[in-house]
Amino acid sequence: MPSSRIQSTLFAAAFLLTGGLLLTACPQGDVGAPCNHGSVEPPSSKLVTFPALSCSDLLCVYGEEQTVPDVNCETDTQCNDASGGNGENIFECESGSCRLSLQYVLERSMCSKTCATDEDCNNSTLSNRPTVDPDETACGSGFKCTVLQRLGQFCCDKLCVCRDDLPALDELEMDCQENIGDAWLECNAAEDDMSMTGTAP
C-alpha cells in the first residue's frame, strides 16, 4: 500500500477515535428523564434526592405539592375522591389514612440539575447531548430554573423544575430572594452557624 494511503488511513482512524472520545466525554443532558429516589416510603411533599445514580447530574426531583386528604379510608378510591377526584391515582390508603402514592411520585419524578437560567434546563446547550425524547418525560410544559426547597441541602438553590409544578413554587421563589427573602436569610443563617461550629476557637 502506498505510504500516502497509509497515512490517510491512520489519520482517518485517529479522527474517528478522537471524535468518539469527545462524544463519550461530553455530558448528557437528561433533565426530565425518569428517575428513582431509592425510597420505599412516599414523601409528604417536594423531594430532592442526591446522589441519584440514574441521572447525569445525580439529582432526582419530585416537584409537586399535593394536599393529602385528611380522611379515614379503606380504599385508595376514597382518598382520591376526597381530593377532588380528577381521575388520577395520586393517593393511596395505608392503615386507614391517606398518603401520596409511591407509584405516582415515581411517575412524576424527573432528573434535574442546578442552574442559573431557564436555558440551562433545555438539554441543548453546547455542553450537553440531549438524551430525553418528549415521550419519555412526564413533564408536559418544559422546565424552569427555580428554587424547590427552603430547607436542607438544596435550600434556596435553583434547580430545573417542570413548569407543571410551578404554581406551588411561586411563593417559595419570593421567599428565596437574595438578601431579603425569609427563606434565603434562614438558609444562610444555618450555613453561618455550621461554619462557626466547624471553626476552631
The total of other beta-carbon atoms located within 10 Å of residue 116's CB is 8
Is 102 within 8 Å of 109 (Cβ atoms)? Answer: no
State the DSSP H helix or E strand holding residue 107, giving kind and residue range, or none if neither.
helix 102-107
Distance, CA of 199 to CA of 193 (rounded, Å): 10
Per-residue pLDDT of the chain (201 residues; tens, 9 = 90+): 544 443 443 333 343 333 333 333 445 678 999 998 887 688 877 889 999 988 989 999 998 888 899 999 999 999 999 988 666 789 999 999 999 999 999 999 999 999 999 988 887 655 555 567 777 888 888 899 988 887 778 888 899 999 888 765 667 777 888 888 887 888 877 555 544 444 444
Reference 42, options 108, 88, 86; nearest CA is 108
What are the residue boundaries of the structural domains of the chain, listed by start?
A: 28-64+108-197
Q: What is the DSSP string of 45-105?
A: S-EEESS-TTSTTSEEEE---------B-SSHHHHHHHTT--S---EEEETTEEEE-HHHH
